[in-house]
Structure 1
Amino acid sequence: MTTSTPASLSVLLQTLSLDDNNSHEEFLRQANNILKSSSDPDTLRTRIVALIKLERYDEAIKSIEQSGAAGLALEHAYCLYKLGDLKGALEISIDKVETERRQRALKHLHAQAQYRAEDFQAATAIYEELSTLPPLVDNEDYDLKVNLGASEAQLSFIGKDGLRPKKRATAEDLQQYETAFNAACISVARGDLNAGLMLLRTSKKLCSNLEGVSEEDIQAELAPVIAQEIYVLIKLGKLEEAVALYKSSDILETTDEAAKLVASANCYLTSQTPNPHVGLRVYEALQKRPEGSQKPFTFQSDILDQNTAILNLQAGKENAAIASAKALKAKNPNDYTLSTIVASIELQTSDSSSAKSIAKTLKDGASRKLGSTADIGIAFINAQNYLKENNVTSAVAVIETLIKELENQPEKRWLPGLVGVVAGLYTLQGRKNKAKAELEAASAYWRSTANPDPAILLATGTAQLNSSNLQDRTMAASIFESLVASHPSALSNAGYVASHPAEDMPSRIAQLTPLTTLLKDINVNTLLDAGVAAPQTKKRPLESTSKPQIKSRKKRKIRLPKAGIDPNKKPDPERWLPLRDRSTYKPKGRKDKKKARDLTQGGPVADKDGDTEMIGGNAVTKVAPSQSAASKNKGKKKGGKRK
């Protein structure tokens, strides 16, 4: 029996055709025969590639580890990635790959692993780096463009694209369904639903008209597009159209389990009054979620879990709702939207209506169920209720109590969302120095961490640029230098130029967006046709709301005689005099007459001796009492006891 040499068997392997469906099995069988008598490196790689083509990744990894052969790092990383071991795939260093072509391939794999690990910032950075290099294989530049667009879309969905330029769909994006779909996702994530719907329908049309692609593959590619279109229709309030699209499409027959799951869950919620008990059964049927590369992203699965908790609450299963909320809280400790579930349970059995009473109700119940009084979600609810009542002071007091309780938990105390709320409330109160101090303290914390938050740094640098203090402007320059190095963008570059002397950086100024580019979308003729707002010619007094408005007095109604006014009758000339001064005034009774005589100006006044006085210039004589009356009185004696 003759023994075949590795060289002769390598020639035999080259004669096999990859067009044959059984070629991979044949490659594997021939490679196994060779490896029984020789450890040829090319044959070993051929065997491993054949196992990968047959999706037998466990066997491929076992063969790599047993052989200990060098030069198989790329294949090893790929097998780990396909098995869902993203961390293991990322730990394989590019330095272990010997050629530039294979190093580039491993970078592609690392970017894809970062994407599946939901580190979209790292994936975007790798794709941008690869895009600056000349392509080594056909269509690599197009693949990089598609993958970069997908990473940017995911950054938009999780709200971390604040420093990235706001891209718009170009005519080139509308040529292929992948680029049109990515542009649609970016528009949807940024709230431009109508533009997103138009781009989604364009992508669906382009995908349906693909040539040389099987119907099964087309349906698999259409599944995420249809699922996204259903979501947009629901957000636009077109519920009937969304249900019709769900029923008419073949999305339930697709192999994309994630798209099927999201579309089915969203379509159930289109009902105006969904039955929570039926909804729980629907969600239970969807609990078998796909794994591996088809597993939904965390922000998608978390929303599905939140919907389950809310359905439990609506169905009256409070314990199940609390258990779901606690499980989600343990998995995502910084997700405080779950606090609304606990707040709903506490408030549905209380009569609280004012912000103060709601805060009192939530203080004990929420802390008992959530296990902590310093819950950011509950504090935000209370602050929002106070703001609805225009009570900014109480809202600030709630947030200040919260941050005092979080002093020993810096990872929570300096969360970007919390910092933004604190700075916003201080600004609303007009306390700009307090807002600036909050941003500076947050920036100092984040700059001491491994991954500084770019939004915090940008806000702090902008606030310090507005200061006239030289030390603040120096700190702003330092912040923008770090931003330009770690997160280069148009905003960070503009901040860097604004915080440094212009004569020292002509290269940086050249990187700023030209004015012609900024103004290219402005139509001057349209602005002129719309007219120019003319300034006011008259000065209007400032409307002051601080002074209390004085109510105008109500005009007295003119009272007229019932019989009307007789034109022939002359009015009384004494009508303007007081009643007692008129000639027709007649006091009633003797006492009134005497009193009127004594009190009237110009009347007679007599002293105790009966003498006459001059009153009003007229002599008035008083008659003396008669003698008879005097003697009569004199003759009277007092009665007494007889002796």
Structure 2
Amino acid sequence: MTTSTPASLSLLLQNLSLDENQSHEEVLRHANNILKSSSDPQTIRTRVVALIKLERYDEAVKSIEQAGSSGLGFEHAYCLYKLGDLKGALEISIDKVETERRQRALKHLHAQAQYRAENFESATAIYEELSALPPLVDNEGYDLRVNLGASEAQLSFVGKDGLRPKKRATAEDLQQYESAFNAACISIARGDLNAGLMLLRTSKKLCSSMEGVSEEDIQTELAPLIAQEIYALIKLGKLEEAAALYKSSDILETSDEAVKLISSANCYLTSQTPNPHVGLRVFEALKSYPQGSQKPFTFQSEILDRNTTILNLQAGKETAAIASAKALKAKNPNDYTISSVVAAIELQTADSSSAKSIAKTLKDAAVGRKLGSTTDIGISLINAQNYLKEDNVTSAVAVIETLLKELENEPEKRWLPGLVGVVAGLYTLQGRKTKAKAELENASAYWRSTTNPDPAVLLATGSAQLNSSNPQDQSMAASIFESLFASNPAPLSNAGYIASHPAEDMPSKIAQLTPLSTLLKDINVNALLDSGVAAPPVKKRPLDAASKPQIKPRKKRKIRLPKGGIDPNKKPDPERWLPLRDRSTYKPKGRKDKKKAKDLTQGGPVTDKDGDTEMIGGNAVTKVAPSQSAASKNKGKKKGGKRK
């Protein structure tokens, strides 16, 4: 083995700098020649950088590991990140990096790794920390703003932005297409589809008008924007417009496999009468999900898998649908949306109409098909919802309480925020506010004992205890809002902290609240005053008032009074309650009526057919003895008896 002299080593090191005509391959070749005779740290770094430029990350990692601790922490983390080893990239400590500049670069990399690992809260926290520091390089502030916006958009899509301020797109966001795209994604995730669509189209115009960028690169950048626009149009029900956009764009020509997969899957839904067999072929063609940095997020891939299960069910492939549902349940036991798919499979052929019969069918299916526990959270929520549709709140509460007893030994499921919210809501619906408050307090106690407490549960508990007049409840509310403010100083937690503490002790925190003028700037006070105050209905309308026949109210009869009014000095007629014909003043008309009235007059003489009379209705009644003829007739009769 030949050894290099200092003069030859110096000459080789000079060749490590790139000029206009030199490639990374040449730099790598020179570095390899030097490392044959010397382990110069700068040469090792140059070789690693050249391998990274050539996207040979495996060789770069081996070279770093062979060199040991040579100050290549950032390069090592970057290679692991590009290879998809996010955990390994995050394990490389910032302390292993020497200079402040490289430490900051590693923080950027950690934030990106947290983003790809779907730890969006951690990524957002790192980007906010970096944004608070002065930038070290050009355009770093813009990159931080774009990446922070992307992290906040993903937080909104997964529903973890409850305590974060609801940002609106600013004029600065509309200057670059990346920031406008992130603002559009946040609006779409929060349900403001029209605003999101407008921002997406603005972003597309900005992207298409970029200068100094090739047409191929512009089409690559436009692909995710078009995919998101298709999604927004579908959500708005504009299926024909979404299908036309999909066909007119070159989105299938993009190199981003995740965008191609999701847009193709969504565009299958644009058909007015989608054929499930065609849908299955589309999903089969896109079955192999892309990996690495183009891999869809978990919440996206799970939706695609669920859609495949539903397509199997719609196509009549019940066995395939059941197998797919079981696989999804085994893959993610806490995804209770799969329970609705299982319920649809079981109820497709079952003769179940009432909530009670549906509950029995689903319970038998859980046992017979071995689809999981009979106290599945998703199935229980379906049964409770069915009872609520029948206005049977008591049975709905009974279903949920049975579930809670079964989950007593599984606190991570028992105190899920969504389940806690359902329980508290049902108790409130029954008027059992004490039980609802106790449920929130117990949930808050559990979450505060964990390393990652759920802010939504703590916020709901603190808000409920603020309304109590009990000093202990108010003290606990203060403690909850203190922890919330320490971990997430968002406007809601700041407002709760101030509300639970004496205001005179915190002028600085009161100054952090949003001014009333800002909160009210979009409210038209004059229009509100002109519209008046809405009064609540006098009577509570039934839930199914539209289905019941409307019964007209019975008219009240008007009270008729004499024309001249009522004379207080005149005594009322004592016979006014008697029928007209029974009054003493009654005078029938005509001879026949007079004769008839004479015979029917109460208290007058009554003449029988023999001409005898007696007084009816008087003080004494004179009875006429029966005639002899009648007595003789009766005398001749024999007393009846039994025949012998």
State the TM-score, normalized to the length of structure 1.
0.86
> Which residue identity does 2:587 align to in structure 1?
P
2:140 and 2:621 mapped to 1: Cα distance? 127
Q: Which residue of 2 aligns with 1:618?
A: none
Name the aligned partner's letter for residue 380 of structure 1.
L
For 1:337, the equivalent position in structure 2 comes to 337
Give the deviation of 1:517 after TM superposition: 2.1
Conserved in 2, the CA contact under 8 Å of 1:439 and 1:460? yes
Match of 2:439 in 1: 438
Instruction: Decide which of 526, 529, 548 is 1:528's aligned counterpart.
Output: 526
Distance 1:388 1:509, change over 3 A: same
Matched, 1:574 2:588: yes
**Any conservation in 1 of the 2:607–2:614 contact (CA below 8 Å)?**
no
- Matched residues in 2 for 1:254 and 1:450: separation? 42
Q: Cα distance, 1:88 vs. partner?
A: 0.5
Runs of 4+ in structure 1 deviating by more than 6 angstroms, as ranges, are 577-581
Report 1:110-509 matches (<5 A): 110-369=110-369, 370-509=371-510
Residue type at the aligned position of 2:530: V
Shift of 1:531: 4.8
Partner SS for 2:16: helix
Q: How far apart are residue 532 of structure 1 and its match? A: 2.4
Instruction: Identify the residue that residue 565 of structure 1 maps to in structure 2.
Output: none
| Map 1:540-619 → 2, pairs under 5 A | 542-543=538-539, 552=554, 573-574=587-588, 582-583=597-598, 593=609, 600-601=616-617, 605-606=621-622
From 8, 11, 18, give the equivalent of 2:11.
Answer: 8
1:70 CA drift (Å): 2.0
8 Å contact kept, 2:615–2:622: no
> What CA distance in whole angstroms lies between the structure 1 residues aligned with 2:323 and 2:3?
70
Q: Give the total of aligned pairs.
A: 590
Taking structure 1 as reference, are residues 268 and 578 closer, same or farther at Cα in structure 2, changes over 3 Å only?
farther
Distance 2:471 2:594 in 1: 82
Deviation of the 1:434 alpha carbon: 0.8
- The answer (yes or no) to whether the contact 1:366–1:378 under 8 Å persists in 2 is no
- Counterpart amino acid of residue 582 in structure 1: A
C-alpha distance in structure 1 between counterparts of 2:236 and 2:364, whole Å: 39
TM-aligned CA distance change 1:578 to 1:518, over 3 Å:
farther
Shift of 1:578: 11
CA distance in 1, matches of 2:537, 2:252: 66
The separation in 1 between residues aligned to 2:397 and 2:307, in whole angstroms, is: 31
Q: Matches of 1:541 and 1:457 in 2, distance apart?
A: 35
State how far apart, in whole Å, the 2-side matches of 1:578 and 1:137 are.
Answer: 121
Q: For each residue in 1:514-556, what CA deviation from the matched residue of structure 2 results, as whole angstroms up to 9, or x when unmatched?
A: 222222333xxx54256524569xx99943789xx9974899x
> What letter matches 1:123 in structure 2?
A
* 2:424 maps to amino acid: A
| One-letter amino acid matched to 2:616 | T
Partner in structure 2 of residue 569 of structure 1: none
Q: Relative to 1, partners in 2 of residues 1:597 and 1:253: Cα closer, same or farther, differing over 3 Å?
A: farther
Q: Given the superposition, is the C-alpha separation of residues 580 and 498 from structure 1 closer, same or farther in structure 2, using an over 3 Å criterion? A: farther
Report if aligned partners of 1:51, 1:59 keep a CA contact under 8 Å in 2. Answer: yes
Q: Which moved more, 1:73-82 or 1:326-335?
A: 326-335
SS across alignment from 2:530: coil
Counterpart contact for 2:614–2:623, Cα < 8 Å: no
Is the CA contact 1:598–1:604 (under 8 Å) kept in the aligned structure 2?
no
In 2: Cα distance, 1:435 partner to 1:595 partner: 90
Query: Shift of residue 584 of structure 1?
Result: 6.3
AA of the residue aligned to 1:583? K
Name the aligned partner's letter for residue 543 of structure 1.
K
Q: Which moved more, 1:241-250 or 1:499-508?
A: 499-508
**Structure 1 residue 180: Cα displacement:** 0.3
In 2 relative to 1, CA 82–440 (structure 1 residues): closer, same or farther, beyond 3 Å? same
The 8 Å contact of residues 346 and 366 in structure 1, kept in 2 or not, is answered as no
User: How many Å apart are 1:604 and its aligned residue?
Assistant: 8.8
Separation of aligned partners in 1, 2:475 and 2:455: 18
C-alpha displacement of 1:332: 1.7
1:500 Cα shift?
Answer: 0.9
**How big is each residue's C-alpha offset from its partner over 1:141-161, in whole Å with a ceiling of 9 and x where there is no partner?**
000000000000000000000
Q: Displacement, 1:400?
A: 1.0
Residue identity matched to 2:463: T
The CA distance in 2 between the partners of 1:114 and 1:211, in whole Å, is 32
- CA deviations 1:568-601 (Å, max 9, x no partner) are xxxx9338x9999723669xxx998579955733
Q: Is the 8 A contact 2:3 2:37 kept in 1?
A: no
Shift, 1:488, TM fit:
1.3
- 1:190-247 CA deviation, whole Å, 9 max, x = no partner? 0000000000000011101111111111111111100000001111111111111001
Residue 616 of structure 1 is matched in structure 2 by none
Q: Partner residue of 2:564?
A: none
Q: 1:242 to 1:10 in 2, by over 3 A?
A: same
Q: Which amino acid aligns with 2:385?
A: Q
TM-aligned CA distance change 1:471 to 1:585, over 3 Å: closer
Instruction: Return the alpha-carbon distance in structure 2 between the equivalents of residues 269 and 193 of structure 1.
Output: 18
Shift in CA distance, 540/152, structure 1 to aligned 2, threshold 3 Å:
closer
Pair 1:350–1:133, CA change in 2 (3 A): same
Closer, same or farther: CA 596–396 of 1 in aligned 2, 3 Å: farther
CA distance in 1, matches of 2:485, 2:610: 106
Query: 2-side partners of 1:164 and 1:42: how far apart?
Result: 45
1:379/1:399 contact within 8 Å kept: yes
Partner secondary structure for residue 37 of structure 2: coil
Secondary structure, aligned partner of 2:333: coil
Structure 1 CA distance for aligned equivalents of residues 203 and 286 of structure 2: 27
Structure 1, unaligned stretches of length 5 or more? 556-571, 611-621, 639-643
Structure 1 position 9, deviation (Å): 2.2
* Native 8 Å contact 1:342 1:366 kept in 2: no
1: distance between equivalents of 2:10 and 2:58? Answer: 28
Task: Measure, in 2, the Cα distance between the counterparts of 1:322 and 1:4.
Answer: 73
CA distance in 1, matches of 2:190, 2:610: 97
Residue 603 of structure 1, CA deviation: 11
Letter paired with 1:11: Q
- Say yes or no: does 1:94 pair with 2:109: no
Quick one: percent identity of the two aligned structures? Answer: 76
